[in-house]
Amino acid sequence: MGAREYDESDVRIRPGRGTRPRTKTRPDHADAQSAMVVTVDRGRWGCALDRDPHHRVVAMRARELGRTPIVVGDDVDIVGDLSGRPDTLARIVRRGERRTVLRRTADDTDPTERVVVANADQLLIVVALADPPPRTGFVERALIAAYAGGLKPVLCLTKSDLAAPEPFAAQFADLDLTIVTAGREDPLDAVAPLLTDQVTVFLGHSGVGKSTLVNRLVPEADRATGEVSGVGKGKHTSTQSVALPLDGQGWVIDTPGIRSFGLAHIQPDDVIRSFSDLADTIEDCPRGCGHMGPPADPECALDTLTGPAAGRVAATRHLLTALREA
């Protein structure tokens, strides 16, 4: 037998890496389904498909989103395995525009703002009337954050069996603020109707009864409750924000008990523009006006208002004073 002759068909050349041209074309994910983010935990997001609390999936963030922040309340589009079975994982490919945002900074000197919750309709500020004692400064900060973020604030006073609510509530009367009481033994007739068909964020210091209130409204939530420690500060009983359904008629977003609420990211105009009548008036203010009135701002147009609006100006300036001090 003679020697075999070889040709090019006998030789297989393995292509090198990088020989396949890359493309910047990305899929449009036309088949993506909408969902609401209800939990966040270490790079995994729990999502309710079409806001259905009974159809939940776990998803990761798609590579094309980069480091786009996604928080509880965000409207997202997801693809992949949407069965919701254990050990399955979908992908978040889009985050929708946010209608409202509740932001805070770590402290008043930190310029980095953090979005706590997105797309909520209202903020329920939970304050105990005693044990621990109520903090006016915290309520003022929460009100400022709600007004600046586009949320409707509601003040909820707990532990009404330990102190009368009227003296503390009177400090905010001129803001036309909805104020309700929800003591441990009180019926929830005043609170529950406010939450129907709304996405409501619960915010409060540890130990004020926030998680107890959540458990009464959503019995299956099984959120931990704790006792107030002996130094006057509550133990943290919730460790991350979570959205809980209200019998299919709204959502409650329970947030961790907070110890600080920085406002470094908020400007005075962000607060003023939350009141339609005041927002129209400040258009006549001189440039750079801080809206504090004489002597700091002698030409502030808010000083021309009379009647109930004037009372609201005084109450709003009290908030601006708290913001300036921050």
Identical fold, 33-95 and 101-221+238-254: no
- Domain locations in the chain as residue ranges: 33-95, 101-221+238-254, 268-325
Burial (Cβ within 10 Å: 0-12, 13-18, ≥19) of residue 37:
buried
Rg value, the chain, Cα: 26
The one-letter code for the residue type at 134 is P
The matching CATH number, chosen from 3.20.20.60, 3.40.50.11820, 3.40.50.10860, 2.40.50.140, for 33-95 is 2.40.50.140
Which CATH superfamily is 101-221+238-254 part of? P-loop containing nucleotide triphosphate hydrolases (3.40.50.300)
Q: Where does the pLDDT of residue 227 fall: very low under 50, low under 70, confident under 90, or very high at 90 and above? A: very low
Residue 242 has pLDDT above 50, yes or no: yes
Distance from C-alpha of 304 to C-alpha of 281, rounded to nearest angstrom = 9
The two three-digit tokens of residue 95, written as one number? 């985050």
Specify the higher pLDDT residue, 184 or 180. 180
Q: Give the residue, 300 or 308, on which the prediction is more confident.
A: 300
**Residues in the chain, overall count:** 326
For residue 106, name the pLDDT band (cuts at 50, 70, 90). Answer: low
Reported pTM: 0.81
Cβ 128 vs Cβ 210: under 8 Å: no
Note whether 204 and 125 are within 8 A (CB): yes
Q: Does 27 score more than 80 pLDDT?
A: no
According to the model, what pLDDT value does residue 248 have? 62
Residues 207/235, Cβ–Cβ less than 8 Å = yes
What pLDDT sits at residue 236? 40
β partners of residue 56: 48
What does the pLDDT read at residue 235? Answer: 44
Asked whether 215 and 126 are in contact (CB, 8 A), the reply is no
pLDDT tens-digit readout, 200-221: 999 998 889 898 899 899 987 7
Burial of 230 (0-12, 13-18, 19+ CB in 10 A): exposed
- Which residue has 């210091």 as its token pair? 205
List the structure tokens of 260.
């600080």
Whole-number average pLDDT of the chain: 85
Q: What is the C-alpha separation between 52 and 186, in angstroms, rounded?
A: 31
Task: Give the end-to-end CA distance of the chain in Å, rounded to a whole number.
Answer: 96
- Computed from CA positions of residues 275, 280, 284, 287, in that sequence, does the dihedral angle turn out positive or negative? positive
More confident residue, 229 or 19: 19
> Of 131-135, 158-162, 183-187, 230-234, where does mean pLDDT reach its minimum?
230-234
Is residue 305 within 8 Å of residue 291, measured between CB atoms? no
Mean pLDDT of 13-23: 64
